[in-house]
Amino acid sequence: MKRSFSMSRVVLHPSTLAVFSGLLGALIGFLLNRASGGNTSQLLWIALIFAMLFSLSITAWQMYRQEKTGEQWMTMLQEMVFQTYFLTLLADKPEISQLAQQRLGQVLKTLTGDQQVSMLKFFSHNGLSATFIGDALQGSTGLVGADLQQIDLPQLQLAQANLSRVNFREANLREANLSDTTLYRADLSGANLSHARLTRTDLRGVNLRGANLSGADLSESRMVMQRAGRDASAVQVQVGTVRYPALRANLSHALLSQARLREANLVGADLGGANLQGVDLTKANLSYANLQGVDLTGATLTGAALIGANLQGADLTGATFTEAALIGANLQGADLTGATLTWAILDEADVRAAKVTEEQLQAVVSGKNVKREP
């Protein structure tokens, strides 16, 4: 059945009203500027700002009043984003920018999961700053399993969000706030997380292979290994004499130089070949972790637990193991030149072919049954 043309539908369409309201704000600003002889005072700027905010308000109101198809939602929101962006550029005042972004954030908080994903991709594709999103997605539960591969949003605020199984492969999340988030089995391989905040984050089963975590804060984060049953992505691990399939955090070949992992739980994690120069692992739990071939030069592992950890061939030059528990650890071929072992426990540890002096070994609090060269 052929639908009849209605001028009122065209005029009252959300996109049409958004355009008209935007033009109205621009026209008011132009007239005010001309009236002042081109020398716009602070008062006139304020008038322009309120006109633009009025435009945003009309847009938001239409979003609720009109029939909301997915396409209409995103068209309206994208127009709002650009209006906020241009408003910030025109005003060039921090307080104005903050006001406009707060207004935009209130609307972004109403989005569904698919709309949140679409908006994040829109920001990334158009090179818009993640600061415009603000804390609108804080605590979000709508991004579970989302595909955000190669997204470019430094300083993105996603604290307390559920990001389980999200694909962040090769994403740029530099200086992002991911504190208290759930990144269970998320894929962050090759991602840039330098100087990001991941404190108290759930990183069980996460894939951080080759990721850049230099200067990042992962204090109190959880990367503990867990049994996996018949899960296809599980790997075979051996704890003592027991071998079973498990999900483990993968940080192999990751860049973690100068990162903070104080009190982090890395039981069974795979850090093989990772760069951990100068990392702070104070009181971290690295029991049964794979640290084969890692670079831990100048690292701090004071009070850390490395029970049964594999440190074979690791560079431990200048590292601090004060009061660390290295019970049953594999240190074969490791370089402990200049490392501090004061009050460490080396019971059952294997130091064959390791570069370690007798003086260093005498500083430990306990070294029962240490395996050494005959």
Q: Which residues have C-beta within 8 Å of that of residue 359, sequence separation ≥ 6?
A: none
> How much is the average pLDDT of 122-139?
84
State the chain's mean pLDDT as an integer.
81
Residue 117 CA to its chain's centroid (Å): 16
**pTM over cut 0.85:** no
Tally the domains of the chain.
1
Asked if residue 167 belongs to a domain, the reply is no
Asked if residue 6 belongs to a domain, the reply is yes
Asked if residue 336 belongs to a domain, the reply is no
pLDDT of residue 3: 45
Token representation of residue 300: 């701090």
pLDDT of residue 110: 76
Region at 159 (left for phi over 0; alpha for psi -120 to 50; beta for the rest):
beta
pLDDT of residue 229: 56
Asked if residue 10 belongs to a domain, the reply is yes
Token representation of residue 16: 């049409």
Q: Give the end-to-end CA distance of the chain in Å, rounded to a whole number.
A: 93
pLDDT of residue 232: 43
> How much is the average pLDDT of 140-150?
95
Three-state SS letters, the chain? CCCCCCHHHHHCCHHHHHHHHHHHHHHHHHHHHHHCCCCCCHHHHHHHHHHHHHHHHHHHHHHHHCCCCHHHHHHHHHHHHHHHHHHHHHHCCHHHHHHHHHHHHHHHCCCCHHHHHHHHHHHHHCCCCHHHCCCCCCCCCCCCCCECCCCECCCCECCCCECCCCECCCCECCCCECCCCECCCCECCCCECCCCECCCCECCCCECCCCECCCCECCCCECCCEECCCCCCCEEEEECCEEEEEECCECCCCECCCCECCCCECCCCECCCCECCCCECCCCECCCCECCCCECCCCECCCCECCCCECCCCECCCCECCCCECCCCECCCCECCCCECCCCECCCCECCCCECCHHHHHCCCECCCCECCC
Cα–Cα dist 26/7, whole Å: 25
Asked if residue 125 belongs to a domain, the reply is no
Asked if residue 91 belongs to a domain, the reply is yes
Note the pLDDT tens digit of each residue in 279-316.
999 999 999 999 999 999 999 999 999 999 999 999 99
Half-sphere exposure of 94 (CA within 13 A, CB side): 0
| Residue 301: closest CA among 340, 269, 275, 267 | 340
Note the pLDDT tens digit of each residue in 81-107.
655 665 555 556 666 666 666 766 777
Asked if residue 164 belongs to a domain, the reply is no
Place of tokens 């309206």: 76
Asked if residue 166 belongs to a domain, the reply is no
Which residue range is the domain that position 46 belongs to? 1-110
Cα–Cα dist 66/110, whole Å: 15
